[in-house]
Structure 1
Amino acid sequence: MTLNNVVFALLNLLVLDAIFLCALVAIVAVLAGTKRAAFAVMKRNFFAYFSNPTGYVFLCIFVFLTSLAAFWPYEFFNQNLATLDQLNYWYPWIMLVFIPAITMSIWAEEKRQGTDELLLTLPADDFDIVIGKYMSAAAIFTSSLLFSQLSTFITLAILTEGGLDTGLIFTTYLGYWFVGLTMIAIGMVASFLTGNLTVGFILGALFNAPLAFAALSDSVIPEREIWGINFAELVKNSGIARTFDDFGRGVISISSVVYFVLVTAVALYACMVLIGRRHWTGGKDGNTMAWHYLSRILALVLVTGSAVVIFRNWDVVRSDMTEGKVSSLSGATVRMIENLESDRPIKIDAFISSDMPEQYARTRYELINLLKEFSSKASSKGRDIEVNLHDNIELFSEDAQLASERFGIEPVTRMVREQGSDKQRQVILGAAFRAGLEKVTVPIFEYGIPVEYELVRSINTVARGTRKRIGIVKTDANMMGGSVMQGMSFQQIPKDPIVDELAKQYEVEEVDLMAPVKPGMYDALVVSQPSSLAPPQFDRFVEAVKAGVPVAVFEDPLPYARQDIPGTGAPKQAGGMAAMMGGGGGPQPKGDIRQLWDVLELKSPGKPGMQGFYEPALVWQDYNPYPNLEMSVDPMWVFVDQNAPGVENNEAVSMDSEITSGLSQVMMLYAGAIEAKEDATLKHTPLLTTGEMSGTLGMDKVRNVLAGQGTVMSEIKGIQPRQVLAMTIEGEASKAAASEDDEDKEAADSTPGIKVVYAADTDMMLPVFLQIRADPNRAADMRLQFQNVTFLLNAIDWLTGENEFIEVRKHEPHFESLRMIDSVKEEASTAVRKRSQQFQTEFDEAMREAQEDMDASLKTLRVEVEDLQKESQDGSISPQLLRAKMTEFQTITQQKQRMLDVKRAKFERERERNVQSIQRDADQKVTTIQNKVKGFAVALPCIPPLIVGIIVFASRRLRERENISKSRLK
């Protein structure tokens, strides 16, 4: 299957190459039909180059250098992405060697051999000769580049098992082609100036060096503005690296194409001036004509620079050719940029350290891509978004100091495993967003959080200047933090991390419901376990729902992870001083959730419980998508998953709602079930539904299971498939809150409709889900895919009308990793885990046997002491003898225990040594594979051109020896 994928990927590339080559052939055909002299010059030079073994030597060197730059650096495997970032960095320097090797002989060789005069006597004008020479060099370079592309692509295809992004590779090499064509035109200028090959090579490299080294200008030229112009930035943007960047990210942009075409045109015009100077050099107007043509060239340079600036600022045509759309903004993001209401310029300062661990490589790549796309889109849409990208900064550089002092972006320490050892690495990967006095800082882009969403949210926040308001209702869940009574002491409850997540986008306030909440006071309310509210507060909450306040409700029959929160049908115990003093510590009044259900026209399976409250049943599901979980998964842990048995038409995570459309898995713990009443008039849309192998279990049976009296599977008597755990409720408030009073009816008709998201679980908001979202590799063997946080954020955005953010979260670019290396790493990791478990089992068994040996050796002495103790009670032995025997027993026990401790320490050292040994073996296996890939990727592509070169050399020698007598060959 892997071979088929590689072949299919290669065929896709060959199709793109064929289309590209057909376009080039069409251009050459037009040239052959209209400019026969130019075509003849092109044909002569092209075949002369490849009929000489030297051409194949240069081809071999070119392929060797490109393969070396692409695959040899450690950063290639550390990044673990199927991109050509390393080659992109070194490519301009490689071209400084290869392009002069092609162009040095274009005219210098003609002068050296004296064939230039013959060439100039052809029935052709100067344009024919220049364009013929140029196209021959371009054809030579194109052939070399195609060979490099195929060798590089095959290597990447094998490493990714055929899953690489063909569009990205093709576009990157298209950029290489444009770079080469431009540098060839400049190199030709050098060749027309001299008749010496060596000088031609040196001048070709020197003339192209400014474009190649312009990216380093900021390290030479001070970054200061003179007359409003930052010359360091101006020089940097005029180089090849800045313009090639779009191609390297898989984007074909009109600004980049215009840059290369215009610079090439200027250089070719300079070549025509140089070849045509024979017509006016030495004449009476020679000096005048020289200044005339120099003025023309300078004017063309000025026009080219102006055109490049114009197209760069209005880069209206941009096409992301990548298959994974890694360099595209979602439609919602583009619309938000177009509709930015702020008249203040928005400034984004991003700081990215040079030493980046593997797990952050993808985030870094995505962040840089998206920031550049933000800058381009903002320019094309006329929006003032300034992006200052401080990339590859050192931890103690001025940029790092600026990030810390001005924006509070500090290096973050992460423990990573690299090159066979665990290391602590400091990472800078943050950004600050400013607009006027508004500022938002993202200290670090954690690698599990969508980068585009963080960027859009931050830009939108500073652009608006004001935020929508979210009210967090104060309940026993204490989402905003507080203290609760545990036993006879208070325990501090920290603020729920989901509140901090919401605070990045909204203005968050705590609501105590001591007064009514009217529509317009808050854009939405979030209430966790509303049934724990006191009756007056609960009634005000229900009235707010009736009034049309958008609300997210999380009501849990059994809060599994928070025992301090009373379940829906559980009594609410008194807290505070009353409980500590032993007075008033009995059950306290609380809300009856059925009042809210009546308003929302909901019902839940269950039965009446204590104190007249209703106890909903809990949902179970026999499905576990993570077989690598080392613990037995509780059936009450419900994995709402599109792949669960019996799920049809993607009904597990509904595609009919903006909240869940695009999601695939949400986890809920000991959740309840809800459904609409038969005569419901409101609109109920299920969001999360179980599969076929599911049902409900009464609360009394669940309590027995938790008390150790049986198991969930033993209590199940039948299945009730497709239990709904969350839904949205919408409708007219007048229908849900009908009143006999005419005035109340009129008031109800004027209120907005009910808008509620109801989820029968609070555990789905646990902090662990935010940790998994930020660090999905925390349990690498399990590859957890929970989207609880996305579900929660989508629900709040849906309630507040911020639907653009929902669409942005759905846009997930696809990155291809080095699957072959990943499989080796995973295989090695699995072996390490299994062997470690084996060593732990052996350690436990050895310690058990040692403990048994110790107990057996002391058994006789212990029995003897026990017998003496019995006899001492009868007075048949003296107390001194008993004490002596007990002292002897204690001494021997201590000796045995010390011996046992020594054995334990020895076994622990041996276990750790064995674990470290297999870990080293696993790391060595990965390193060996990487080294083999490096060797083969660099060496093998050089063999075909060498073989062809040898064949050409041999055939040439044979032709030279034809018709020569044997006597002369001696």
Structure 2
Amino acid sequence: MALNNVTTALLSLLVHDLVFLALLVAIVALLAGTKQAAFAVMKRNFVGYFSNPTGYVFLCIFVFLTSVAAFWPYEFFNQNLATVDQLNYWFPLIMLVFIPAITMSIWAEEKRQGTDELLLTLPADDFDIVIGKYMAAAAIFTASLLFSQISTFVTLAILTEGELDTGLIFTSYLGYYFVGLTMIAIGMIASFLTGNLTVGFILGALFNAPLAFASLVESVSPNQNIAKWIAASGIARPFDDFGRGVVSSSSVIYFVLVAAVALYICMVLIGRRHWTGGKDGNTMAWHYIARVLALVVVTAGAVILFRSRDVFRHDFTEGKVSSLAPATKKLIRELDSDRPIVIDAFISKEIPEVYAKTRYELINLLKEFRSEAAARGREITVNLYDDIELFSDEAALAEERFGIAPQTRMVKERGASQQKQLIMGAAFKSGLEKVTVPIFEYGIPVEYELVRSINTVASGARQRLGIVATDARLTGGTVMSGMSMQQVPRHPLMDELGKQYEVEEVDLNSPVSPDVYAALLCVQPSSLAPPQFDRLLEAIRAGVPVAIFEDPAPVGAGYITPTGSPKQAPGGMFGGGGGPQPKADIRQLWDLLGVEIPGRAGMQEMYTPDLVWQQHNPYPTLDDQANELWIFIDEEAPGAEMGMALSQDNPITSGMQEVLGIVAGAVLAKAGSPLKHTPLLQTGGLSGLIDGTKMQQIMTGQTTVARETKGIKPSIPIAMAIEGATRAAADDAEQAEGEGEDGAADPAEQQSKPDTNAPGIKAVYVADTDMMLPEFLMIRADPNVVTEARFQFQNVTFVLNCIDWLTGQYDFIEVRKHEPIFASLRMIDSVKEEARTAVRNGSKDFQTEYDAAIRDAQEAQQARMKELQEEVEKLQKQNADGNVSRAELQAKLQTFQTQQELEQRKLDVKRTKLERDRELKVRDIERAAADEVTKIQNKVKAAAVTLPCIPPLVVGVIVFAARRLRERENISKSRLK
């Protein structure tokens, strides 16, 4: 399968290359038909280069250097992405060696051999000679680049098992091609200036050096404005688009114009023979210098003009890693042009492997924000401080001015857990509004964080989100735990929502105005007192959007009163608070929302909902913790219909992959309800209901889920989106319509009629509160919090989507859906997974050995103490009968206690030794696993660097041997001796 994928990927690249070569062949054919002299010059130089073994030596060196730059740096395997980022960094330096090696002989060799006069007497103009020489050098470079591309691509295809981004690799090499064409034109200037090959090589490198090193000026220049302008004039800025998989008109125009200016200078230099010896030679020299300077100024102006006005810009990557979501582009278009936005992003040079994708995505998106804003005429200034040291001036600036300090994270690298510091944060500012993201955690959508932050500082005002005060205590508080008060911390979800909304607690002691809050979030409304509950119903009827999370059996937060349980007074059973407190009748809310909750009525007018079970667990490592009451909602569940588990009919769940509910209830649409009900989360085929009153017995092990099932009931919804007008509103509307048809109604009756244009209900009902536990925010930030599991839960995204759907912030929902696809080194990943499995299995074996050894030691200790304990018990019995003195019993007890302490110390010593041995064994197997991964990486490096060099060397040897044989053909045997 992997071989087929590699072959398919290679064929895809070859198709791209063939289309590109067809375009080049068409250009050469056009040249051959219209400029025969230029074609002859091109053919002569190209054939001459590859008929000489020296050409293959240079080709071998070029392939060797590109392979070393691409695969040898530590960052390649640490990043674990199938990109050529490392080659992008080193490519300009490689070109400073390779391009002068091609261009140094273009004209200098003609001068040295005296063949330049022959070329100049051909029936051709100066343009034919220059363009012929240029296209010959370009053809040589094209052949070298194609060979390097194929060798690099094959290596990446093997490492990714064929699952790599062909578009990214192709556009990166297309960028190399434009860089090469530009540097060749500049290198030709050096060759036209001298007849010495060595001087031509040095001048070619010197003339190209400013463009190659222009991007480094910012780190040494005291004037940052001038430094930025100089840096933007180099090849790094326009090539950056190609390196990220983006082909833009501004980048292409830059390279074409610079190459055109260089070629014009070459024409001036080759044509100087016409006027240098004349009486107007000096005048003509100044004339041509003025021409060149004017052309340079025009070119610079054109480059600056097109840089901010891309006529064409397209992301050719297959994973769309350098694209903005349509909703993001819409946001940028709608930004106020009078409110400039400044983004200061700081990223450290060394980051853990798990943050590599986040770093790559963050840098790409920031650059795309800058380009998109420039194209739309919006002012978004991006100051990107990349590859900074932890104790550099940039790091100090980030901490002092923006509060972006180095963050410490525990990561596992090279077989050992270790703490690493990194900086990866950004500050957003517009006017007086400021937002800081201290760190982009690798599990959080980067584009969503950027868009949300930009929108916050750009708008200057946020919608208000009301958090209803219930037993859930989302904003923090205190609860009675036993005989003491326990502090409940503020739910981290409030901080997450606070980045986008103005979050405010609502106690419902007074009516809620529909104009105050964009939406309400109410967790466990059944715990409200009747007056507060009535005001919640009034707010829903008044059209206030609301997200309801009602759990029949909260597990993660034990202080939340279950739906069917009475609410105890503060102070508990012995705290002086008394018995159960008044509690709302949750069935009124169900009637209002037109939903039906399966269950049964209980004591004190309580209603206990049934619980949902499902036989599906995509994480085998959770077998010991998870059971049928853990509801994994995904399309892989047995019997789950495509697009039904997570509804594709509502923006909230459209495009999502997996949500986890823990001990959830069911929510069904009531027959005949005028409201529109859309099931958001549904179980698969192997699911059903159990009696909610059996929950306590299940938790204590008195019964099991299997015993209490009521049969299979597939596709049970546990979350529902509800919208539309209630039955009463619909009846009022019909009555008003009928009166309108009969004629004008009595004024008094008209005043008493309800407003038929009143907003309808918009709500989300979720029969579970555990799906918004703080642990899910931790999992989102760190999906590898349990290394063996690698959770993919999107619970936080689901909750945020619910709120945004209620408030009408649909753009943020679309942004969250836009997830770029990165190609990773799957072959290395499989080796790492095998190593992790070996470590996991070895650790379990060592733990089993440790437990057995401790158990044996404890049994041996008990056996040794048994005889002494029996003697003590015998003496105690005899002492009770008066047959043994108290002193003798006391002495025996003392001996028993001393021996017991001695045995305990022996056991503690043995336990400590066994723990140390276990840790050493685990460490050894982790080290062996890490060494195995390192060995594979080193083998890949060696193969990637050496194997591509073999074909050009073999061809070079063949060419050399053939050339020697031809030289010896017409030589007499006597001279050969």
* TM-score normalised over the length of structure 1: 0.98
Q: What is the match of residue 12 of structure 2?
A: 12
Q: How far has the Cα of 1:583 moved from its partner?
A: 3.3
Q: Conserved in 1, the CA contact under 8 Å of 2:675 and 2:726?
A: no
Q: What is the match of residue 162 of structure 2?
A: 162
Matched, 1:310 2:305: yes
Matches within 5 A, 1:238-253: 238-253=233-248
Work out the percentage of aligned pairs sharing the same amino acid: 69
Matches within 5 A, 1:107-126: 107-126=107-126
Alpha-carbon distance in structure 1 between the residues aligned to 2:375 and 2:353: 34
Which residue, out of 573, 585, 588, partners 1:595?
A: 588
Secondary structure of 1:498's partner? helix
Q: How far has the Cα of 1:646 moved from its partner?
A: 1.1
Alpha-carbon distance in structure 2 between the residues aligned to 1:587 and 1:905: 51
Q: What is the match of residue 605 of structure 1?
A: 598
Q: How far has the Cα of 1:766 moved from its partner?
A: 0.2
Q: What is the match of residue 301 of structure 1?
A: 296
Amino acid at match of 2:679: P
Matches within 5 A, 1:687-698: 687-698=680-691
Q: How far has the Cα of 1:348 moved from its partner?
A: 0.8
Alpha-carbon distance in structure 1 between the residues aligned to 2:812 and 2:933: 40
Amino acid at match of 2:76: F
Q: How far has the Cα of 1:889 moved from its partner?
A: 2.0
Q: What is the match of residue 775 of structure 2?
A: 768
Alpha-carbon distance in structure 1 between the residues aligned to 2:645 and 2:417: 41
Q: How far has the Cα of 1:893 moved from its partner?
A: 2.2
Q: Conserved in 1, the CA contact under 8 Å of 2:483 and 2:574?
A: no
Q: How far has the Cα of 1:738 moved from its partner?
A: 6.8
Instruction: Return 519-528 or 743-752, whichever deviates more.
Output: 743-752
Q: Conserved in 2, the CA contact under 8 Å of 1:171 and 1:321?
A: yes
Amino acid at match of 2:338: D
Q: What is the match of residue 227 of structure 1?
A: none
Cα deviation, 1:766-803, whole Å, max 9, x if unaligned, reads 00111111111112321211111111111111110100
Matches within 5 A, 1:710-789: 710-733=703-726, 735=728, 746-789=753-796
Q: What is the match of residue 700 of structure 1?
A: 693
Matches within 5 A, 1:119-158: 119-158=119-158
Alpha-carbon distance in structure 2 between the residues aligned to 1:486 and 1:748: 48
Amino acid at match of 1:726: A
Q: How far has the Cα of 1:393 moved from its partner?
A: 1.2
Q: Conserved in 2, the CA contact under 8 Å of 1:868 and 1:877?
A: yes
Matched, 1:51 2:40: no
Matched, 1:39 2:39: yes
Amino acid at match of 1:88: N
Amino acid at match of 2:492: P
Matched, 1:361 2:356: yes
Matched, 1:926 2:933: yes
Which residue, out of 632, 635, 652, partners 1:639?
A: 632
Matched, 1:438 2:445: no
Matched, 1:894 2:889: no
Amino acid at match of 2:371: S
Instruction: Return 267-276 or 676-685, whichever deviates more.
Output: 676-685
Alpha-carbon distance in structure 2 between the residues aligned to 1:282 and 1:297: 21
Q: Conserved in 2, the CA contact under 8 Å of 1:682 and 1:736?
A: no
Q: 1:240 to 1:20 in 2, by over 3 A?
A: same
Amino acid at match of 2:839: V
Matched, 1:413 2:408: yes
Matches within 5 A, 1:420-819: 420-576=415-571, 579=572, 582-733=575-726, 735=728, 746-819=753-826
Amino acid at match of 2:602: G
Secondary structure of 1:686's partner? strand
Amino acid at match of 1:137: A
Which residue, out of 900, 907, 915, partners 1:908?
A: 915
Unaligned runs of 5+ in 2: 736-747
Secondary structure of 1:351's partner? strand
Alpha-carbon distance in structure 2 between the residues aligned to 1:737 and 1:598: 15
Q: 1:201 to 1:582 in 2, by over 3 A?
A: closer
Alpha-carbon distance in structure 2 between the residues aligned to 1:133 and 1:801: 62
Q: How far has the Cα of 1:717 moved from its partner?
A: 3.6
Q: Conserved in 2, the CA contact under 8 Å of 1:547 and 1:748?
A: no
Cα deviation, 1:255-304, whole Å, max 9, x if unaligned, reads 00000000000000000000000000121110111111111111111111
Alpha-carbon distance in structure 2 between the residues aligned to 1:377 and 1:619: 48
Cα deviation, 1:92-135, whole Å, max 9, x if unaligned, reads 00000000000000000000000000111111110000000000
Alpha-carbon distance in structure 2 between the residues aligned to 1:736 and 1:889: 84
Q: Conserved in 2, the CA contact under 8 Å of 1:829 and 1:922?
A: yes
Instruction: Return 79-88 or 401-410, whichever deviates more.
Output: 401-410
Q: 1:10 to 1:280 in 2, by over 3 A?
A: same
Q: Conserved in 2, the CA contact under 8 Å of 1:67 and 1:938?
A: yes
Instruction: Return 742-751 or 652-661, whichever deviates more.
Output: 742-751
Cα deviation, 1:682-712, whole Å, max 9, x if unaligned, reads 1111111111111111122222212321111
Secondary structure of 2:753's partner? helix
Alpha-carbon distance in structure 1 between the residues aligned to 2:872 and 2:296: 105
Q: What is the match of residue 963 of structure 2?
A: 956
Q: Conserved in 2, the CA contact under 8 Å of 1:548 and 1:733?
A: no
Q: What is the match of residue 99 of structure 1?
A: 99
Q: What is the match of residue 211 of structure 2?
A: 211
Secondary structure of 2:785's partner? coil
Q: What is the match of residue 221 of structure 1?
A: 221
Alpha-carbon distance in structure 1 between the residues aligned to 2:565 and 2:755: 33
Q: What is the match of residue 831 of structure 1?
A: 838
Alpha-carbon distance in structure 2 between the residues aligned to 1:891 and 1:331: 78
Alpha-carbon distance in structure 1 between the residues aligned to 2:763 and 2:693: 30
Q: How far has the Cα of 1:632 moved from its partner?
A: 4.3
Alpha-carbon distance in structure 1 between the residues aligned to 2:752 and 2:598: 32
Secondary structure of 1:804's partner? helix
Instruction: Return 469-478 or 675-684, whichever deviates more.
Output: 675-684
Q: What is the match of residue 29 of structure 1?
A: 29
Q: 1:870 to 1:511 in 2, by over 3 A?
A: same
Amino acid at match of 1:955: A
Q: 1:315 to 1:888 in 2, by over 3 A?
A: same
Q: Conserved in 2, the CA contact under 8 Å of 1:734 and 1:745?
A: no
Which residue, out of 313, 333, 343, partners 1:338?
A: 333
Alpha-carbon distance in structure 2 between the residues aligned to 1:617 and 1:630: 24
Alpha-carbon distance in structure 2 between the residues aligned to 1:292 and 1:424: 65
Alpha-carbon distance in structure 1 between the residues aligned to 2:625 and 2:504: 40
Q: 1:714 to 1:342 in 2, by over 3 A?
A: farther
Q: Conserved in 2, the CA contact under 8 Å of 1:617 and 1:697?
A: yes
Q: What is the match of residue 857 of structure 1?
A: 864
Q: What is the match of residue 72 of structure 2?
A: 72
Q: Conserved in 2, the CA contact under 8 Å of 1:254 and 1:315?
A: yes
Q: How far has the Cα of 1:896 moved from its partner?
A: 2.1
Instruction: Return 819-828 or 337-346, whichever deviates more.
Output: 337-346
May I ask how many residue pairs the two structures share in their alignment? 963
Q: How far has the Cα of 1:20 moved from its partner?
A: 0.2
Matched, 1:876 2:871: no
Cα deviation, 1:845-864, whole Å, max 9, x if unaligned, reads 01111111111122122112
Alpha-carbon distance in structure 1 between the residues aligned to 2:114 and 2:464: 83
Alpha-carbon distance in structure 2 between the residues aligned to 1:743 and 1:491: 56
Q: Conserved in 2, the CA contact under 8 Å of 1:472 and 1:511?
A: yes
Alpha-carbon distance in structure 1 between the residues aligned to 2:446 and 2:749: 53
Q: How far has the Cα of 1:630 moved from its partner?
A: 5.0
Instruction: Return 597-606 or 336-345, whichever deviates more.
Output: 336-345
Amino acid at match of 1:703: Q
Matched, 1:352 2:352: no
RMSD of equivalent CA atoms = 1.5
Which residue, out of 315, 340, 355, partners 1:320?
A: 315
Q: Conserved in 2, the CA contact under 8 Å of 1:549 and 1:755?
A: yes
* TM-score normalised over the length of structure 2: 0.97
